[in-house]
Amino acid sequence: MKKLENKRVISLDSTDNFRELGGYKTADGHTIKWHKLLRSGSLGNLNQKDLNFLENYGVRYDVDLRSDPEVADAPDQIQVGAIDYIFDPIFNEDRTDNSQDPDDFRKILETNKTYGYDHMIDVYRQMVTHEYCRNAFHNLFMILLENKKDGQSVLFHCTAGKDRTGMSALLILSALGVDLETIKEDYILTNKVVKHIIDAKVEDVKHQDFSPHAIESLKTLYSVNMDFLNAAIAEINHRYNNMDNFLHEGIGLTDQNITDLKAIYLE
């Protein structure tokens, strides 16, 4: 078997925004193990070459954070048996507009000049305030706690691998003791990794005579923005005082869960 490289951004042919969380340092001097935690966009178009890569990489669990409509549109193309598929929707409906009717969606964009920004601020706050969302994050952590064997990984993803996935990464990295500045750097890295995709989508709608403010809203929806993550963090601090309380009281993690997570994922 070919030796695996330690790379933050992994380029695959049939999925976007595929990244490693290994190598990040914690505040107390530990390091997240490589090849244990992966984040990505949709696996709905996964080809055989990339599937072989995932299996060789040691992916054991595929946690799909998308809603029912998104999964119905593009089910994950994984090998049943080789990888355990876990459907764990953060929202019980598509709150990220990935399955919107195009005509209806365009009307929203054209009539509400700040729709993209306002909508995403609301989505991030909901991931803190909605019990359904918090239960989904709890389920994700329970899968993480099962990933005890060396050489196997948990891959968690949504459609674009940026919002639900970005929020999941915030919680996981926080639980492992990574400092907030590093977490924010990992979050905003999405914009660099998928810049070519964002640029292509923006160019496409320019040719469809979208108004400038509708184009700007779409660009906002395609990207990540530190304001979005900060809105979630502010909501956590407002309701729970700090991240540690949120992980315990909001997500339902115990002190033992945190200790076990660190034993599994840190070195």
Show me where the domains of the chain are located.
19-93+101-265
Q: Supply the pLDDT for residue 105.
A: 85
- Nearest CA-CA partner of 246 in 229, 260, 233: 233
pTM: 0.95
Q: Supply the pLDDT for residue 34.
A: 97
What does each C-alpha distance from 239 to 11, 13, 124, 267 come to in angstroms? Answer: 39, 42, 14, 32
Q: Which amino acid, residue 249?
A: E
Q: Supply the pLDDT for residue 80.
A: 78
All residue ranges of the chain with pLDDT < 70 are: 1-2, 94-100
Q: Supply the pLDDT for residue 94.
A: 60
What's the per-residue H, E or C state across the chain? CCCCCCCCECCCCCCCCCEECCCCECCCCCEECCCCEEEECCCCCCCHHHHHHHHHHCEEEEEECCCHHHHHHCCCCCCECCEEEEECCCCCCCCCCCCCCHHHHHHHHHHCCCHHHHHHHHHHHHHHHCHHHHHHHHHHHHHHHHCCCCCCEEEEECCCCCCHHHHHHHHHHHHHCCCHHHHHHHHHHHHHHCHHHHHHHHHHHHCCCCCHHHHHHHHHHHCCCHHHHHHHHHHHHHHHCCHHHHHHHHCCCCHHHHHHHHHHHEC
Rounded Cα distance between 93 and 104, Å, is 17
Rounded Cα distance between 231 and 73, Å, is 30
Which CATH number, 3.30.479.30, 3.30.70.1230, 2.40.170.20, 3.90.190.10, labels domain 19-93+101-265? Answer: 3.90.190.10
Classify strands 59-64 and 84-87 as parallel, antiparallel or unpaired. Answer: parallel
Q: What angle do CA 228, 231, 233 make, to 5 degrees?
A: 115
Q: Supply the pLDDT for residue 207.
A: 86
